[in-house]
Structure 1
């Protein structure tokens, strides 16, 4: 199933406008985004990995006073971001190869990181660390347990993967992060499994 991870970028490129339309403005994540923001300094800069169209998550953070830098592998998604939020910094890039040579007060990878295969997820933690300022918050979504799952979007197979809870905890700790909060399949947040951590 891991080969499904290799098709994710193409899927989102082909269906960027459909994704943006279906995602819409509904924000079930507000409570977690507020918890994330509580860990940030005033007027923080936030790196949004796999930002999609920028709506509704990046928009919410921008409206809350954050300076947003968004990264997505799909140029079509970044074009939507630039159209909606021309004042922010939007970049076409693969998070697995990211090297922006700057650090951020917060990093978020919501519904994006979990499309990576097991080894690519493991390799992301040094990338998180390299882009995290001291005290930076990190929030990402994963699956509830180790394994792979295949969903569907616009008639195509949609790959997801997750490491085990213990491995995520070990990777965070090894890269200088402490877990602040963790919830498995939060019923108030669309059954997302959420990790919120802070760099020591």
Structure 2
């Protein structure tokens, strides 16, 4: 399936969006399709990435970058979002330094080779993803038993909820993962010339 909405040309986008996309390209070596796909609506692009960055680049709390990507990968798999499973699975492999973890988490997170605290984190995230109306005090207590605070619970829930939105945008629009994502974190990264 190809994307339903053509990707806009970078040089046709507002300067602030161009600058951010070029920054991402410089860091990653390519432009992830989500940046161009959502740029067709600049105001929504800005809002989306502002909230994305507030959640995923946050430095306080008890969630590592790997934890955050694990939440995205597991909940995106539950939502059957090809783009987010592949793209965020790549980041999960890199942050956790485990080439197999993203596949395990996407297929069956309950059997994945992850820490007990990450199992508790994903239990909560998946309940938010699939049955948020059932969240109760026992769910917060299960997180607290693994050292997560109420603010950490908010982070877990917000990531699951935000990526529910992202999953649906990517899926309905036919957004495809970049080919580069499939190999990222599976093999050592080639050394860059000096």
TM-score interval (norm. to shorter): 0.3 to 0.5
TM value normalised by structure 1 = 0.32
TM-score w.r.t. the length of structure 2 is 0.33
Considering fraction of residues, name the structure with more strand.
1
Please say which structure displays the higher CA radius of gyration. Answer: 2
Relative contact order higher in (CA < 8 Å, ≥ 6 apart): 2
Bigger share in helix = 2
